[in-house]
Structure 1
Amino acid sequence: MSAPTNKTKQLLTVSLKIAVVSLAIGFTIYKLQNNNFSEIQEFALDYFAKLSPFLIVFLVYLSFQNRFLEIVKWQNLGATVKPLSIHKSAEEVFAAFTLGSFTPNGLGEYAGKALFYQKQERLKIVALNLVCNGVQMFYSVFFGLLAFAFLGLVTVLQLIAILAAAVLLVFVLQKVNRRFKSKVHDFFKAGFSVSAQVHQRNFFYGLLRYATFTSQYVLFLHVGNPQASVIALYAAVAATYLLASSLPAFQLFDFAVKTGVALLFFSELGIDPQLILLITLLMWLLNVVVPLLIGAFYVLRFKPLDT
């Protein structure tokens, strides 16, 4: 079979771009039109009346900070392969986010970022992206387990046992990886063979990002339910993110998944289900839909590398 011509490749690329962007915009419109938001319309109006202009700007700013920290985090790691500006990092992060939104647990994001690099660099990029996302999972698990203990879902002894098992697992995997000479070894070596300073910055930016989106969620909740304990709210949010992140789902369905999980934890705190639905919707719009649409713009501009 003859190799596809350049014109065929260009046609396939344009078709794929149009398909991705159409799905991104079409699904967003569909989701907004087909959810019965009329049930919470009056509740939403009352809620927004409690928000001052300054607070609205600050809550929106937290979404910007959330995504900006992810951009800086990726710049820190991607720059170990080639020089990476903030603008270029933003292009890769947003485009990959949009591509990943159509795959379970955002797996397409790995391929999305790799497409911006030469063929010989792609293994390391995928490995670095695993490191980039892995630090967020680390914080979700760590703070989520602490939240489970705070909420009485696990005992302190069980929590210590889980954390000890996790540390032991990491130690065993490192030992096995050193002895296992294969592509798997090369893959992990590509991701972790960066300087300690790069790893430290990755953990620092990851912690700031986790604090940003959890604080945004808590602030939204506190406005609607000021009598609730802030510590209890943080615990419920951390538990929600841990359980939601462990469920196989598409980014586009993040709203439905997090709503169901949030209802499970916040109902124990006596928070109105309508408030939970409204805030989960706002978080979804600000932190998923807006980046998704920005990413669609970058997908349209994307020019694949030939090698």
Structure 2
Amino acid sequence: MSFLTVKTVVILLGFSALNWILEILKWQNLVSYFKTITFYEAAQQSLGSLTASIFTPNRIGEYGAKMLYFPKQNAKIIVLLNFISNTTQLIVTSLFGIIGLLNITTVFHSEIYLSLFIAFAIIMLLISLKNIELFGFSIQRLLLKIKQIPQTILKKNGIYSVVRYLVFSHQFYFLLFIFDCNLEYSTALFYIFSMYLLASIIPTIHFMDVAIKGSVALFLFSKLGIENWKIVTITSVMWLFNLVIPVSIGSYFVLRFKPVKA
């Protein structure tokens, strides 16, 4: 099988490396709001916090893990910056996902509209909970604080988020191509965009994200006649390259971690 070639593995590693380089650059850029850190320090914090949060719902543990790398007086700003990072990526996922969903409504009808309704309901719920506090911040206060961040930092964060999304989306497309799924480029991307949006609105423990994405992918791509074993294999490979390998690297940083003195 062509998938097993060294060239294919190298390309997959290249996609994953670029994916996480962009995530690290996002964090380095955001932290520059109050402190200059090196790329290596940003990598330690990004991958270490990923490892520490894999068994928490929707990576909520990442907030607490990143705070440990900074003095206590910086705790609230770290929560704010991590919120911006994650929320921007979610917004990008939602925008591309809506584009995808709107382009596959000829195949899915009630399911698509139900998914859009659920996404809308979640947004309304968040708005209604704007005064609920998280690590000393309410959503309303977080939004007010975001306005204080320089626009250059926020724009770079948005660009990194978009490029990162396109990287792992095309990594999935590359795997569809490798497994001879015979899909048109635009069709494949619309389904990939839809998959990531639908998977993102389902709460899950991050380490088990493969089960959610795998189930959603099976639901969507089965309509295109793609064999189930191919989709399961592709989502498993994505999980291996984009989570298991980074977590393994992050484990090294976690073992060497020394708490910052206040």
Considering the TM-score relative to the shorter chain, is it more than 0.5? yes
Q: Distance in 2 between matches of 1:127 and 1:66?
A: 22
The structure 2 residue matched to 1:255, chosen from 188, 210, 228, is 210
1:60 aligned residue:
13
2:53 aligned residue:
100
Name the amino acid aligned to 1:123: K
CA RMSD of aligned residues (A): 2.4
What is the SS of the residue equivalent to 1:218? helix
1:296 aligned residue:
251
Distance 1:154 1:136, change over 3 A: farther
Give the 5 Å matches for 1:46-57: 46-48=1-3, 51=5, 53-57=6-10
Offset of residue 88 of structure 1 = 0.4
What is the SS of the residue equivalent to 1:225? coil
Are residues 1:245 and 2:203 paired?
Answer: no
Asked if structure 2 preserves the Cα contact closer than 8 Å seen for 1:124 and 1:187, the reply is no
Structure with more of its chain in helix, by fraction: 1
Asked if structure 2 preserves the Cα contact closer than 8 Å seen for 1:225 and 1:271, the reply is no
Name the amino acid aligned to 2:97: G
What percent identity do the matched residue pairs reach? 32
Q: Distance in 1 between matches of 2:171 and 2:204?
A: 22
1:211 aligned residue:
166
1:131 aligned residue:
84
Offset of residue 85 of structure 1 = 0.8
1:118 aligned residue:
71
Name the amino acid aligned to 1:301: R
Query: Please, which runs of 5 or more residues in structure 2 have no aligned partner?
Result: none
Offset of residue 154 of structure 1 = 6.2
Name the amino acid aligned to 1:303: K
Name the amino acid aligned to 1:139: V
The structure 2 residue matched to 1:221, chosen from 149, 165, 176, is 176
Distance 1:202 1:266, change over 3 A: same
What is the SS of the residue equivalent to 1:59? helix
Are residues 1:188 and 2:151 paired?
Answer: no
Distance 1:261 1:47, change over 3 A: farther
Name the amino acid aligned to 1:120: Q
Q: Distance in 2 between matches of 1:254 and 1:90?
A: 22
Name the amino acid aligned to 2:56: T
Q: Distance in 2 between matches of 1:293 and 1:265?
A: 31
Asked if structure 1 preserves the Cα contact closer than 8 Å seen for 2:3 and 2:179, the reply is no
TM-score by length of 1: 0.74
1:264 aligned residue:
219
Offset of residue 54 of structure 1 = 3.4
Offset of residue 47 of structure 1 = 4.8
The structure 2 residue matched to 1:141, chosen from 79, 94, 97, is 94
Give the 5 Å matches for 1:25-64: 46-48=1-3, 51=5, 53-64=6-17
Q: Distance in 1 between matches of 2:182 and 2:3?
A: 18
